[in-house]
């Protein structure tokens, strides 16, 4: 298994890369190669393979994630966002890899966004790409985006909507009970709604907790989470 992450810009530091690597070492019990795609490898653990981002692609923020599909993946590959916390064993995630399919997160905590048509602005849907598993040739996903990059980056808020509304037939999802959101919840029976007081979620039985909206909405005065949301999770990487 090739396990990869991506660090671009200043939102994340080498500490997040090294922290994620430690969690993978604790919770993936088979052979793996850990890779970080970045334009700045300073202070990253020497056991992590560095692959340089091609800055000529001229992307920003989360859009760099689509560069993972520039090359054919000839082995099972798993991407993890740098803000996730791995709580339990994820060795079985290799079994979720299906040739020529992209498996990612179904946001079961967004029942209001299931099966929505593409509606502007926002293009809301129930996909989250904090964890992705794939193998095969998805260069068409990259090419389709990059040939009209300015258009797609203006149209969508991120790659989740791009994948959902343009490549839906390629998608598969992790089953329930695997991944939950620290901010948004677990499923349609336990989730946070906009307008409610923010109440952070935790369930030790899940294998991965995603920290979507970490340092995002709070910047603009909305609901979001910051480093305080990690309080009590330190045991998972120490």
Contacts 24+ apart (CB under 8 A), 25-28: 26/86, 26/236, 26/237, 27/86, 27/87, 27/88, 27/89, 27/90, 27/91, 27/207, 28/1, 28/3, 28/89, 28/90, 28/91, 28/93
CATH 3.90.550.10 assigned to domain 2-236? The reply is yes
Q: Is the pLDDT of residue 214 over 70?
A: no
Q: Is the pLDDT of residue 65 over 60?
A: yes
Specify the pLDDT at position 224.
60
CB-based contacts of 211: which residues, under 8 Å, 6+ apart?
A: 83, 84, 85, 181, 182, 183, 225, 229, 230
Specify the pLDDT at position 225.
66
**% pLDDT > 90, the chain:** 75
This prediction's pTM: 0.92
Q: Name residue 37's beta-bridge partners.
A: 6, 51
In contact, 90 and 133? CB cutoff 8 Å:
no
pLDDT band, very low/low/confident/very high, at 236 (cuts 50, 70, 90): very high
Specify the pLDDT at position 218.
47
Specify the pLDDT at position 38.
97
Among 38-42, 51-55, 189-193, 206-210, the range scoring the smallest mean pLDDT is 189-193
The token pair at 161 is 């909507």
CA 62 to chain centre: 9
* DSSP class per residue in 40-104: --TT--TTSEEEE--GGG---GGGGGGGGGSS-EEEEEEEE-TT-EE-S--GGGGGG--BTEEEE
How do 101-106 and 49-52 pair as beta strands? Answer: unpaired
In contact, 229 and 200? CB cutoff 8 Å:
yes
Rg (CA), the chain: 17
Among 20-29, 63-72, 172-181, 219-228, the range scoring the smallest mean pLDDT is 219-228
The residues spanned by each domain of the chain are: 2-236
Planar angle of CA 87, 237, 39, nearest 5 degrees: 110
Specify the pLDDT at position 118.
79
Tell me the mean pLDDT in the region 24-38. 98
pLDDT band, very low/low/confident/very high, at 115 (cuts 50, 70, 90): confident
Q: Is the pLDDT of residue 21 over 70?
A: yes
């Amino acid at each position: 298994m090739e396990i990869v992450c991506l660090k671009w810009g200043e939102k994340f530091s080498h500490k997040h890369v090294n922290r994620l690597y430690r969690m993978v070492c604790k919770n993936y019990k088979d052979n793996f190669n850990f890779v970080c795609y970045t334009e700045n490898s300073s202070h990253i653990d020497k056991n992590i393979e560095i692959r340089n981002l091609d800055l000529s692609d001229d992307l920003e923020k989360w859009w760099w994630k689509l560069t993972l599909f520039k090359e054919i993946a000839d082995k099972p590959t798993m991407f993890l966002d740098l803000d996730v916390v791995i709580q339990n064993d994820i060795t079985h995630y290799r079994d979720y890899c299906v040739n020529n399919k992209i498996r990612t997160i179904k946001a079961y905590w967004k029942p209001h966004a299931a099966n929505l048509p593409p509606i502007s602005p926002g293009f809301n849907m129930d996909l989250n790409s904090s964890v992705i598993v794939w193998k095969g040739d998805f260069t068409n996903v990259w090419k389709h985006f990059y040939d009209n990059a300015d258009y797609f980056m203006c149209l969508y808020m991120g790659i989740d909507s791009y994948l959902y509304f343009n490549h839906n037939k390629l998608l598969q999802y992790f089953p329930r009970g695997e991944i939950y959101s620290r901010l948004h919840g677990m499923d349609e029976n336990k989730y946070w709604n906009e307008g409610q007081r923010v109440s952070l979620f935790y369930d030790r039985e899940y294998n991965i907790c995603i920290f979507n909206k970490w340092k995002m909405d709070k910047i603009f005065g909305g609901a979001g989470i910051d480093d305080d949301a990690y309080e009590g999770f330190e045991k998972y990487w120490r």
